[in-house]
A = this chain, B = another copy of it.
């Protein structure tokens, strides 16, 4: 009756196990966290999610730690307890300092309150923010 089982390696099918192995190889760890084990009930969804995550969080024009902090900001606003835990851990593993964590909290709190104020007052967007609506 639980929403989803947390599948062990033994319980996972071959397709899911291949993803678990890829997670272990890419992350250089033996540990596969619960999120992936819960997704394993649907191996195609598991694989699509993992593959996409690699692309999105991989090398690019944004620093990996910055990406984790953006991930945390979204997860906090969505109220996803699991994701806040896992990505805060990931950010710390990537070097987030206590000072940076504090500033991240402060920015999230600030945005949350001005979001509420702008919405509550139904402030119209300034024309200069709308300008140059290019239609190629």
Q: Tell whether, in the assembled complex, residue A82 and residue B118 are in contact, meaning their CB atoms are under 8 Å apart.
A: yes
What is the size category of the interface that chain A forms with chain B?
Answer: 35 or more
Also in contact, A56 and B110, with CB within 8 A (given A62-B104, A119-B80, A136-B10) = yes
A103 to B: closest C-beta gap in Å: 5
Q: Mark A20-45, 1 if CB is under 8 A from B, else 0.
A: 00000000000101110111011011
**Are B75's CB and A115's CB within 8 A?**
yes
Assess the A1–B45 pair: CB atoms within 8 A.
no
Residues of A within 8 A of B (CB): 1-12, 31, 33-35, 37-39, 41-42, 44-45, 48-49, 52-53, 55-57, 60-62, 66-67, 69-89, 92, 97-126, 128-136
